[in-house]
Structure 1
Amino acid sequence: MNIIVVGLNHRTAPVAVRERFALPEAEWGSALDRLRSYRGVTEGVVLSTCNRVEVCAAVRNTDEGFEGATRFFTSYHRPDTLDSPASHLYYYASADAIRHVFRVASSLDSMVVGEPQILGQLKDAFDAALAHKSTGVVLNKLFKKAISVAKRVRTETRIAESAVSVSYAAVELARKIFRRLDRTRVLVMGSGEMAELAARNLVAQGAEELRIAGRNQARVDALARDYAGHAVSRDAFLAELIEADIVICSTGADHYLLEAAQMAEVARLRRGRPLFLIDLAVPRNIDPRVNDIEDIFLYNIDDLNSVVEANRRERDKEAIKAEAIIAEEIERMMQWLKSLEVTPTIVDLRTRVESLRRAEVERAVARLGRAGTADEIRALLDGVTSALVNKLLHAPVVALKQEANHPEGALYAETVRKLFRLDEENASSAPPAAGEERVPLGEAPAADRPRSGSG
C-alpha cells in the first residue's frame, strides 16, 4: 500500500484555472465516489480551497494511482478551459506525499505561510471523507498524524506569530492604499469564514465604517453585531457600492456578483471617486473586466502575493524549525506504513505456528494417559517440544540449504541470524542438560521413534 497526492495550487495554476476545478461542499461526496471508482484507489480525501484542489489517496500501485487521479481532474475539465489540467498538476508518492500533507496542514505550503485557515479546511475535508466512508486505516492514520504535526509546529515554533491569513493580506493591501482605515468606508460581501476574518482584521486595523452584505441575512446581522458594523439589506446594496471606498468580496457564489455593466453604472454615479475592489473568492465573484473601468481598481487573490512577501523572511526562519519537526514525523509515519507491508506475513506466521502447537498439544494429550512415572512424563514432554522445534525449523532449514549455492545464499543466512539474534552475546549456547537428548534437525525425537522389542 502506498500514499499519493495529486493536485494543483497557487504555485502551479493561476486563479483562472483553479476556479475551474474548485469543488463546492455539496459536490464533495460525488467527488469522493468518483475518485475511488478508479482502479487501484482504495481510500481517498479531496481538499478544495481557494488556493488548491488536490486529492490524497491510498493506492495498491503508484502508477495506477497517478493515472486514476489524473483522470479525476480530467473528468472535471470544462470545455472553456484554455489548457489541459495535467500541465498544472503536481505528483507526490510515499514519503514525498506524506511530507506534502504535513506541510499543507502546518501551513508551510500556503500562499501565506503560517495562516491558520488551512488546518481547519483540511479537517473539514477529512471529516467529509470519514462521513462518506472513503478513508481507511492508511489515510485515517495519515490525516490524524497531519493534524497532530500541525499542532506541534504551532506549539514549538513561532511561525503563527508573524503569519497572516489571506483575509489579513487583503486588509493590509487596503491599509497600504488608504494608510488609515478609520476614515474609509469598507463593504464586506459575504458572511462565511473568510469574510468574518476580513471583518475582524478590518476592525483590528481601525476600520470604523464597516458594512456587511450577504445572502444569509441572519448571519450578516450577527457579524454586524459582533464587529460593530452595519448590516446591508439587498435593497440598499447598490447605494452602498456607490458610497464605499473599499469592497472586499468573499462569497460561495459560483458566478459573478459584480458585473462590468453594473459597475460601469456605479462608477458613473461615483463621479470620479476611486473604488478599490478585492476579490478573495474562488471562483471569482467579480468580473475581471471591471478592472478596465476608469476609477475602479480590482485585485484578486493572486495579487496578494506582494503583501505576503513582506513577512516572508521572518516566517522562513521559523519554517526551518517546522521542516525539522516534519522530517522527524515523516520517519515515524514511514516506519508505520512499512510495518503494514509485513503485517500479513506476521499474521500468517503466527497462524502457522499456532496450528503446529495445537497439533502437538492434541498428540500429547492423547499419550498423556499412558505416561505414569516422572521419567515417562519428562520423555513425553521432551518428545512433544522436540517435535515442535523440528516442525518450526524444518522449512527455513531446507530453504537455507537450497539457497546455499545461489548468489543470495549468504543474504538468506544473514537474515536468519538477524531474525533469531544468533550473534548476540547472551544467545544461549549451553549444552543439553544431563540426560537430555540433542535431536538432529529433520529426525524424530526419541519418544516418537519405534521402540525395539515387543509391542
Structure 2
Amino acid sequence: MVMGLNHNTASVEVRERLNIKKESYAKCIQSLRGTRGIQECVILSTCNRTEIYAVVDNLHTGKLIMTGFFLESLGLNKLECINFFYTKENDDTIKHLFRVVCGLDSLVIGETQILGQVKESFIISQTQKATSTVFNMLFKKAITFAKRVHSNTDLGKNAVSVSYAAIELGKKIFGHFHYKTVVILGAGEMGELTAKHLHTNGAGTIIVVNRTYERAMNLANKFSGEAKTMDQIQNVLSQADIVISSIDVKGPIITKQDMETINLKRKHRPLYMIDIAVPRSIDPEINNFDHVFLYNIDDLEDIVAANLNKRAEESKKINSMIENELLAFKSWINTLDAVPLMAALQEKSLFIHEEAMRHIENKLPNLTQKELKVIRKYSKSIVNQMLHDPLMGIKEINSHTNKEEVLELFIQLFALEGILDEQNQIGESELQHWPTPYLSQSKIPVHS
C-alpha cells in the first residue's frame, strides 16, 4: 500500500510543512520498519509529494500505523490527514508507483527528475534493510520501466521539468531572454537544470548565487556566467531582470524588507521572480510590490495544462504498458507461494543425499577421496534430474484454478510437513522480538 499527499491534494504551503529532509530518511524508515505489521517500506519526499510505500501484514492495520506516523512524527492532526492524504492498496499501489516513477503523476507531466528521486529513496531503504523480496523486485522493475519509457516514447523525447516550465513562463512574459540578466539562487541539481535551460534559450548574463561560493563558481563556469555569494544578493537583485530560486533553506532568503531596499535601486524596472524551492525561499508578500511578478511552483499549472493535450496520447500508451507490467508483477508474486515448497523439497533432497553418502563411506571405508568425489558428483546429478520436473511444475502453480489443493497435494506427496512447520516456527520466533505497534518518539525533522 501507499499513503501520502501530492500537488493534486495539497497546496505548496502544506507540502513544504511535510517535506521530510533527506538526513531524516533513515530515522523515519527505522521507525516504520521497527513497527510490527510493516514488512517493507520506502519513503519518497520531494517538493511535490511525500509518500510512504509499504508491504504490510494487514491493510487496515497498515493504514493505522502509517496514519500514526504522520500524526506523531510530522505533527499533524486527524483532520489534516483526511483532507490531504490518499491511500492506495494492492494493484492501485503498483500502478501508482509506475505512474510516479515515469513522470505521469508529476506536476509537469513527463519530467525526469522524479526517476532519480525514486531510485535514491529505494537505495536508502535498501541500505537500512527496510526492503526485501517484494519491494526489491517492484522498485527495480519500476525504475527499469521508467528508463524504457523515457528512451522509447515521445514522453521521454519531450521530457520537461519544473525548471523548464519556469523558463517557459518567463518566455511568455519577456518573449525572449536575450540581453536579460538572470539570477539563479541555488547551485544544486535544480539550479543546474535551470541554468542549462536559460543558456539554451539565449540568456544574456547568468549570475549564480549560492551559500558556498565554490559551488556557485563551478556552476557559473559551465555556462560562462558569474558567481556571487549570499551577502551580495541585494546588489545582484538590483540589476536582475529575472530571478529563479531553487535554493534549499528553512525560511525566506529574500524578505519584504529586502525588496523595499532593492526596489529603490531598481527605479521601477520590472522584475520577474519564480520560487521553485520547497520550502519557499522568497517571501510571498513580495508579489504585492509594483513592477514585481512573483510565481511559485503551483503557478506552473497553466503551463502543465498546455502540455497535457500534447502528451495525452503518449499517456494512454504508457498506461497500457503499466497494465502489462502489473500483470507480469502479479504473476511473479503468485509464484512466491511455491518458493517455501521448493526450498523444502531441495532441503529434504540434500539431507537424503548427504545421508546416502555417509552410509556409502561407512560401508566402503577404503574408497579414495577421488572415488568419493565421483560418486558424490553423479549421485547429486541423479537427485537434481529427479527434482527438475517437480520444481518446474510447482513454479506453474499459478495457472491452476485449484491452487490451494495442488499445493497441499505437493506437500503430502513429498512429505514436507515437518520442514515447513520448522520454517514457520523460526518465522514466529523472530516476530516475538519485534516492537509492538507504533511507539511515541521525538518528531522527525521536516522542512517548516
Q: Counterpart of 2:58?
A: 61
Q: What is the letter of the counterpart of residue 220 of structure 2?
A: A
Q: Which residue of 2 aligns with 1:251?
A: 247
Aligned equivalents of 1:216, 1:65: Cα separation in 2: 43
What is the distance in 2 between the residues matched to 1:286 and 1:413? 60
Query: Percentage identity across aligned positions?
Result: 39
Query: 2:212·2:229 contact (CA, 8 Å) conserved in 1?
Result: no
C-alpha deviations, 1:379-422, integer Å up to 9, x for none? Answer: xxxxxxxxxxxxxxxxxxxxxxxxxxxxxxxx9799559989xx
Q: How far 1:188 moved relative to its partner?
A: 0.4
For residues 402 and 59 of structure 2, the distance between their equivalents in structure 1, rounded to whole angstroms, comes to: 29
- Distance across 2 between alignment mates of 1:235 and 1:303: 29
Q: Does 1:46 align with 2:74?
A: no
- For 2:159, the equivalent position in structure 1 comes to 163
- Kept after mapping to 2: 8 A contact 1:47/1:53: yes
Paired residue type of 2:59: T
1:86 Cα deviation after fit: 3.4
Q: How does 1:37-436 map to 2 (within 5 A)?
A: 37-78=34-75, 84-348=80-344, 415=405
Change (3 A) 1:53 1:310: same
Give the unaligned 5+ runs of structure 2. 363-400, 411-448
* 1:338-387 CA distance string (max 9 Å, x none): 22234334444666788899999999xx9xxxxxxxxxxxxxxxxxxxxx
Deviation at 1:208?
A: 1.6
1, 7, 20: which is aligned to 1:10?
A: 7
Aligned partners of 2:234 and 2:258 also within 8 Å: no
d(CA) in 2 for partners of 1:121, 1:168: 18
Query: Matches of 2:230 and 2:346 in 1, distance apart?
Result: 70
The 3 A distance-change label for structure 1 pair 212 and 414 is closer
The Cα shift of 1:132 comes to 2.0
Mark the CA change 1:201 to 1:338 in structure 2 (over 3 Å): closer, same or farther. Answer: same
* Per-residue deviation, 1:250: 0.4
Residue 127 of structure 1 and its aligned partner are, at CA, apart by 1.5
In terms of Rg, which structure is larger?
1
Aligned-residue offset at 1:182: 0.7
CA RMSD between the two structures: 2.9
- C-alpha distance in 2 between matches for 1:104 and 1:414: 35
* Structure 2 contact 256–286 (Cα < 8 Å) conserved: yes
Deviates more, 1:124-133 or 1:238-247: 124-133
Compute the displacement of 1:295 (Å): 2.2
Give the SS at the match of 1:46: strand
- Taking the aligned partners of 1:55 and 1:314, their CA distance within structure 2 comes to 31
Shift of 1:265: 2.1
More moved, 13-22 vs 123-132: 123-132
* Aligned residue type for 1:320: K
Q: 2: CA distance between counterparts of 1:117 and 1:149?
A: 15
Cα gap change, 1:62 to 1:418, in 2 (>3 Å): closer
Cα distance change on mapping 1:416 and 1:13 into 2, 3 Å:
closer
SS at structure 1 position matched to 2:160: coil
186 and 238 in structure 1: CA distance in 2 versus 1, 3 angstrom threshold: same
Instruction: Say if 1:270 and 1:144 are closer, same or farther in 2 by CA, change over 3 A.
Output: same
Q: 2:23 aligns with which of 15, 23, 26?
A: 26
User: TM (normalized to structure 2)?
Assistant: 0.76
In structure 2, C-alpha distance between the alignment counterparts of 1:414 and 1:134, rounded to whole Å: 30
CA distance in structure 2 between the aligned counterparts of 1:290 and 1:412, rounded to whole angstroms: 67
The verdict on how the C-alpha distance between 1:150 and 1:269 changes in structure 2, with shifts beyond 3 A counting, is same
- The answer on whether the counterparts of 1:170 and 1:304 sit within 8 Å (CA) in structure 2 is yes
Deviation at 1:130, TM superposition (A): 1.8
Unaligned runs of 5+ in 1: 367-410, 421-455
Deviation for aligned residue 1:78: 3.9
Bigger mean CA deviation after superposition, 350-359 or 134-143: 350-359
Task: For 2:98, give the aligned amino acid.
Answer: F
The alpha carbon displacement at 1:150 in A equals: 0.7
- Deviation of 1:304 after TM superposition, in Å, equals 0.3
Which has more helix, going by share of residues? 2
Aligned residues of 1:39 and 1:68 also touching (Cα < 8 A): no
- Contact 1:162/1:311 (8 A) holds in 2: no
After TM superposition, give the deviation of residue 294 of structure 1 in Å: 2.5
Q: Hey, what's the Cα distance between the residues in 2 that align with 1:307 and 1:352?
A: 63
Q: CA deviation at 1:106?
A: 1.0
d(CA) in 2 for partners of 1:229, 1:358: 72
SS of equivalent residue, structure 1 residue 248: strand
* C-alpha contact (below 8 Å) 2:211/2:229 kept by paired residues: no
Distance 1:64 1:153 in 2: 35
1:148-170 deviation digits (Å, cap 9, x = unpaired): 11122123311122331100000
Q: Distance between the aligned counterparts of 2:172 and 2:255, measured in 1?
A: 26
Query: Which gives a bigger RCO, structure 1 or 2 (Cα 8 Å, sep 6+)?
Result: 2
Conserved in 2, the CA contact under 8 Å of 1:20 and 1:78?
no
